[in-house]
Amino acid sequence: MKAPDLDDLAAFAAIARRRSFRAAAVERGVSVSTLSQTLRDLEARLDLRLINRTTRSVALTEAGARLLERITPALADISRAVEDTLSEAGEATGRLRINAPEPAIELTLAPLIAPFLAAHPRVELEIRAETAFVDIVAEGFDAGVRWGESLAKDMIAVPLSGPQRYVVIAAPDLIARVGAPQHPRDLLGVPCIRTRFASGLTPAWEFERAGEAVRIEPSGPLVGASAHGLIRACCDGVGFYTTFEDFARPHIEAGRLVTVLDDWSEPFPGPFLYYPSRRQMPGPLRAFVDFARWRG
């Protein structure tokens, strides 16, 4: 029996992981028909059926499951070895998958993307926007981005920016109509705009000044998920709103919005890039960590 080609085994592993010829073909960058033929050739070479497939499902046979279990660590080791060798030669290559909430993507990751890819043209960067905290290892991500309170203690964390802060903003016309709040609890008596995440969570507004912490749940005529859309409504005088200062800055500088309760808006550390502590870091991740540290 002729030994199977390494690329054929990697193709089989992709089909087995994805449980879909179409998804595996996208991952491998080939057509579905090419991938299907590769699997048929591999099965013929081994004289074993590895995958049962119908028009609706893809399932491993017992032999396929045993083979996948044995080759998965080996394929991962080979991939890391290639990435490490290329990285040592000064060129990272391969896919880098990062999970991050949208504010972190827009405020911290987005400015890094173009210069990083220009410096590492053989890296394929995938960034998924997700507000809810996820297990990056279980979901197949190389790294995640979150603020400090959401970081697991067994992760390595690298700061991506300097301090940030939330500000409470309102249109000048609204301030003229209802007055400027002097204490966070004054917001309970005026119209406010709330954020509701896809999970259904509507976070409370939290303030701190000189060691005094205040947590309120204001009400108002508008609830939404898009920060930019809600800022536009705030500019139109719909209500008070709290968001990242960097999101609101262009409108503040243009005079469309003003901030209130500034002495209650203390800065906090910016988001962190975090990843598992492991001895053999994939080349693209190592390159991104080094790049983020250098830019910081």
The CATH number given to whatever domain includes residue 98 is 3.40.190.10
Which pLDDT tens digit goes with each residue over 214-231? Answer: 999 999 999 999 999 999
DSSP string for residues in 24-36: HHHHHTS-HHHHH
Residue 236 has pLDDT above 90, yes or no: yes
The mean of the pLDDT values for the chain is: 88
The verdict on 234 and 287 lying in the same domain is no
Residue 58: strand pairing partners: 53
The verdict on 282 and 135 lying in the same domain is yes
Higher pLDDT, 277 or 98: 98
Q: How confident is the model at residue 188 (pLDDT cuts 50, 70, 90)?
A: very high
How many CB atoms are located within 10 Å of the residue 243 CB? 19
The verdict on 100 and 157 lying in the same domain is yes
Read off the pLDDT of each residue in 186-196 and give the average, rounded to a whole number. Answer: 96
The verdict on 173 and 223 lying in the same domain is yes
The percentage of the chain sitting over the pLDDT mark of 90, rounded to a whole number, equals 57
Read off the pLDDT of each residue in 187-195 and give the average, rounded to a whole number. Answer: 96
Residue 69 has pLDDT above 80, yes or no: yes
Predicted pLDDT at 74: 85
Residue 296 has pLDDT above 60, yes or no: no
Instruction: Indicate the range of 94-98, 123-127, 132-136 predicted with least confidence.
Output: 132-136
Helix (H, G, I), strand (E, B) or coil at 254: coil
Higher pLDDT, 42 or 277: 42
The CATH number given to whatever domain includes residue 190 is 3.40.190.290
The reply to whether 192 falls in a domain is: yes
Residue 89 has pLDDT above 70, yes or no: no
Residue 75 has pLDDT above 90, yes or no: no
Instruction: Indicate the range of 7-11, 136-140, 258-262, 277-281 predicted with least confidence.
Output: 277-281
| Own/partner pairs, 43-50, CB within 8 angstroms, 24+ separation | 45/1, 45/2, 45/4, 45/8, 46/1, 46/4, 47/1, 50/12, 50/16
Read off the pLDDT of each residue in 65-86 and give the average, rounded to a whole number. Answer: 79
Segments in the chain forming alpha helices (H):
6-18, 21-28, 32-46, 62-88, 102-104, 110-119, 172-178, 227-235, 245-253, 283-295
DSSP state of 48: S
The verdict on 128 and 149 lying in the same domain is yes
Residue 105 has pLDDT above 70, yes or no: yes
Residue 105's Cα: distance from chain center in Å? 7
The reply to whether 39 falls in a domain is: yes
Q: How confident is the model at residue 25 (pLDDT cuts 50, 70, 90)?
A: confident
What are the Cα distances from residue 95, in Å, to 46, 124, 181, 198, 278?
30, 5, 49, 28, 18
Two tokens, residue 281: 């870091």
Q: How confident is the model at residue 202 (pLDDT cuts 50, 70, 90)?
A: very high
The whole-angstrom separation of Cα 273 and Cα 294 is: 14
Read off the pLDDT of each residue in 116-144 and give the average, rounded to a whole number. Answer: 89
The verdict on 287 and 230 lying in the same domain is no
Predicted pLDDT at 113: 95
Predicted pLDDT at 199: 79
The verdict on 260 and 183 lying in the same domain is yes
Q: How confident is the model at residue 137 (pLDDT cuts 50, 70, 90)?
A: confident
Residue 103 has pLDDT above 80, yes or no: yes
The whole-angstrom separation of Cα 290 and Cα 296 is: 10
Helix (H, G, I), strand (E, B) or coil at 22: helix
Higher pLDDT, 294 or 288: 288
The verdict on 52 and 10 lying in the same domain is yes
Final residue of a structural domain among 40, 66, 87: 87
The verdict on 228 and 172 lying in the same domain is yes
Helix (H, G, I), strand (E, B) or coil at 65: helix
Q: For residue 281, give its domain range.
A: 90-163+270-295
Residue 39 has pLDDT above 60, yes or no: yes
The reply to whether 1 falls in a domain is: no
Residue 159: strand pairing partners: 272
Q: How many domains does the chain have?
A: 3
The verdict on 278 and 139 lying in the same domain is yes
What is the C-alpha R_g of the chain?
25
The verdict on 250 and 172 lying in the same domain is yes
| Contact criterion met (CB below 8 Å) for 117 and 123 | yes
What are the Cα distances from residue 252, in Å, to 164, 170, 177, 191, 235?
16, 9, 19, 20, 10
